[in-house]
Amino acid sequence: MKKVVKFGGSSLASAEQFQKVGRIIRADAGRRFVVPSAPGKRYDKDIKVTDMLYSCYALAEVGKDFKKELAQIERRYKEIIEGLGLNLSLTEEFQTIAEKFKKNEGRDYAASRGEYLNGLVMAEYLGYEFIDAAEVIFFHENGSFDAEKTERVLAERLEGKEHAVIPGFYGAKEDGTVTTFSRGGSDITGSIVAAAIHADLYENWTDVSGFLITDPRIIINPEVIETITYRELRELSYMGATVLHEDAIFPVRKEGIPINIKNTNAPEDPGTLIVESTCRKPKYTITGIAGKKGFAAINIEKDMMNTEIGFGRKVLGVFEDNGISFEHMPSGIDTMTIFVHQSEFEEKEQKVLAGIHRSVHPDSVELESDLALIAVVGRGMKSNRGVAGRIFSALAHANINIKMIDQGSSELNIIIGVKNEDFEPAIQAIYDIFVVTRL
């Protein structure tokens, strides 16, 4: 068994957390390649090392003194090193960092040091080889990830190695400039490493026991999803459910490697298994519910719209010209509604309206704001009669008016539009009908 194990910031926030991680790694000989994040929060009001680095560098960038701030970061690592009883000094590393900050080496360089230093500590603690991500993860000149070069170099470098620690979140461009992924990007590094060594499993260790059926801020203690497919996960992540970085699934998905989300603080919990496809019947008809508030709907009416070829294209062209992406487009015979993100739309509202009038001469255009979209996702919905019916009757019982319904022919996803204020009660009603009453 070859496993890549990625540990998130909260799993590595203190010496105690490192010890838990050490026990997890030693408990399974397959856990050979380790991708650490930077130390995260130890308690609610704590600050992540990555954020401390960003603020420290912001001072350096404008020529202000940053000694105190950098010393605070150094102290966090010192506490971990001492707590683990390691014989490791990062003094020289911090001198280099201070010099590079003074020379304005870059924001990405600054942020990347969180993972880099944690990688050094982790390698020392485990007795594994340290591989600097800047030597094996590559970015193009424009900052996008260079998959082709990375795959080649990384596979070559890891070939035949028993163990290694590769820090997450960053890599380098051709000229050596350190570059990071977007926030939470260590998940992507883990996935890239797993793909490069053709791992059997990518374990992603965090502080929750898997992907929850829905948002715990809305439903108290929602159940954990046991198995989810990449496609389902993508639908849910797109609608705001987060555990894993959105882009982390692509490298492993290409290789058919499953991801297991696990909890460092409860390692016995099975967590969530993310797979390409599965015969395992989902526990409930639906796999998950996610959603977002803050949408606006533009409702266009014109008699005989249905006979006017090119009507839809012209309307969407107006949105395109204004750089607004649309989310959904339910339509009737003489009506067409476009759902957009309210924040994106608001500032261009009048331009878009004028554009629609000019290009398609509608009878009327109405706007409605403060809408929410809810995605009910599940491979179990396919060919299963009555799912939509159950959703609608649950919402009717909860006195919630449905503004929009959208279901693709893949039957993986039903999207429902409601008013912002109905968002939480709607999720509660759907959760109750499928999970609590197990329909």
Q: Report the residue from 119, 167, 185, 362 that binds ligand ASP according to the rule CB under 6 A.
A: 185
* Nearest residue (CB) to ligand ASP, 107 versus 314: 107
Q: Which stretch binds ligand ASP (CB under 6 A): 69-77, 178-186, 200-208, 261-269?
A: 178-186
Q: Report the residue from 5, 38, 225, 286 that binds ligand ASP according to the rule CB under 6 A.
A: 38
Judge whether 6 is annotated as a binding position.
yes
CA dihedral 187, 191, 197, 199 (to 10 degrees): 100
Does 339 contact ligand ASP by CB under 6 A?
A: no
Ranges within 213-242 binding ligand ASP (CB under 6 A): none
Q: Report the residue from 31, 48, 379, 403 that binds ligand ASP according to the rule CB under 6 A.
A: 48
Does 39 contact ligand ASP by CB under 6 A?
A: no
Judge whether 302 is annotated as a binding position.
no
3-state SS, one letter per residue, for 274-298: EECCCCCCCCCCCCEEEEEEEEEEE
Does 204 contact ligand ASP by CB under 6 A?
A: no
- Compose the 77-106 pattern: x for residues touching ligand ASP by CB under 6 A, - for all others: ------------------------------
**CA 187 to each of CA 27, 29, 37, 206: distance values in angstroms, whole numbers, following the listed order:** 22, 22, 9, 10
The alpha carbon of 424 is separated from its chain's Cα centroid by a whole number of angstroms, namely: 22
Considering the complex, what minimum distance in angstroms separates the CB of residue 413 from ligand ASP? Answer: 27
Ranges within 141-170 binding ligand ASP (CB under 6 A): 168-169
Give me the amino acid identity at 2.
K
Query: Mapping DSSP to helix (H, G, I), strand (E, B) and coil, where does residue 84 land?
Result: helix
- Other CB atoms within 10 Å distance of the CB of residue 268: 8
Q: Report the residue from 184, 355, 362, 417 that binds ligand ASP according to the rule CB under 6 A.
A: 184
Judge whether 312 is annotated as a binding position.
no
Nearest residue to 15 (alpha-carbon basis) of 129, 164, 118: 118
* Integer Cα distance of 276 and 279 in angstroms: 11
Position of tokens 């900052």? 143
Judge whether 160 is annotated as a binding position.
no
Does 434 contact ligand ASP by CB under 6 A?
A: no
Q: Which stretch binds ligand ASP (CB under 6 A): 22-30, 179-187, 283-291, 381-389?
A: 179-187
* Nearest residue (CB) to ligand ASP, 39 versus 271: 39
Does 183 contact ligand ASP by CB under 6 A?
A: yes
Judge whether 50 is annotated as a binding position.
yes
* Nearest residue (CB) to ligand ASP, 37 versus 237: 37
Query: Mapping DSSP to helix (H, G, I), strand (E, B) and coil, where does residue 370 land?
Result: strand
**201-214 in b/e burial notation, b at 16+ Cβ within 10 A?**
bbbbbbbbbbbbbb
The alpha carbon of 39 is separated from its chain's Cα centroid by a whole number of angstroms, namely: 19
Considering the complex, what minimum distance in angstroms separates the CB of residue 36 from ligand ASP? Answer: 9
Which tokens in the block code for residue 48? 């992540």
Main-chain dihedrals φ then ψ at residue 283, nearest 5 degrees? -60, -40
Considering the complex, what minimum distance in angstroms separates the CB of residue 37 from ligand ASP? Answer: 4
Position of tokens 């939470």? 184
* Integer Cα distance of 211 and 222 in angstroms: 10
* Integer Cα distance of 108 and 143 in angstroms: 11
Q: Which stretch binds ligand ASP (CB under 6 A): 67-75, 92-100, 181-189, 293-301?
A: 181-189
Judge whether 9 is annotated as a binding position.
yes
- Compose the 108-127 pattern: x for residues touching ligand ASP by CB under 6 A, - for all others: ------x-------------
* Nearest residue (CB) to ligand ASP, 128 versus 205: 205
Spatial neighbors of 208 by CB under 8 A, at least 6 apart, are: 243, 261, 263
Binding site for ligand ASP (CB under 6 A): 9, 37-38, 48, 50, 114, 168-169, 183-187
